[in-house]
Amino acid sequence: SLMSGTIRSNLLLASPSASEEMIRWALHTAVSDFVYDLPDGLDTICGESGSGLSEGQCQRIAIARALLRPGGVLLLDEATSSLDPQTEAALMDNLRVMVRNASDSPDGRSGVTVIFVSHREAVISGADRVLRFS
């Protein structure tokens, strides 16, 4: 979830020294380019839990924030639950590209592993490996 403050301040919680290039990359990967269409862009103020934005928009900004956090593992729990099918598909495509081309990211990271916890077929069907728990 998002904290009260600007979109930029929410993103920088993950990596306070993230460059504009890294922020743009993370937002694009998380299908959050809509941020740049908002009147105040990254400086748009969102209330506690992202009030003023849709649940899906908040979810995508939170994913962008997670992408900015350094590390080799990204754990996403029901991260697409508020996304429409087209946005979900675009996000999944972008994450697959990110994993395959991790060294192309602005910070040059490599070896990123994405773990999804999900009940949604679109997420499961795109996975390299699926573990089912009952």
Q: Domain holding 86: CATH number?
A: 3.40.50.300
130 is a domain residue: no
Q: What distance in Å separates the CA atoms of residue 5 and residue 2, rounded to the nearest whole number?
A: 9
94 is a domain residue: yes
131 is a domain residue: no
How do residues 70-87 score in pLDDT, each as one tens digit? 888 889 999 889 999 999
- Mean pLDDT score, 95-118: 77
132 is a domain residue: no
pLDDT at 69 exceeding the cut of 70: yes
Residue 77 lies in domain: 5-125
133 is a domain residue: no
- The top-scoring range by mean pLDDT among 23-27, 69-73, 112-116 is 23-27
**102: which DSSP letter?**
G
Share of the chain above pLDDT 90, in %: 51
Task: Give burial (CB, 10 Å; 0-12/13-18/19+) of 6.
Answer: middle
Q: What distance in Å separates the CA atoms of residue 27 and residue 49, rounded to the nearest whole number?
A: 18
72 is a domain residue: yes
HSE-up (13 A, CA, CB side) for residue 8: 12
pLDDT of residue 98: 85
- Dihedral sign of CA atoms 120, 63, 109, 24 in order: positive
70 is a domain residue: yes
**DSSP result, 32-82:** -GGGGGSTTGGG-EE-GGGTTS-HHHHHHHHHHHHHHS-SSEEEEESTTTT
Secondary structure of residue 31 in the 3-state scheme: coil
- Mean pLDDT score, 89-102: 86
pLDDT at 115 exceeding the cut of 80: yes
Domain count, the chain: 1
134 is a domain residue: no
Q: What distance in Å separates the CA atoms of residue 30 and residue 25, rounded to the nearest whole number?
A: 9
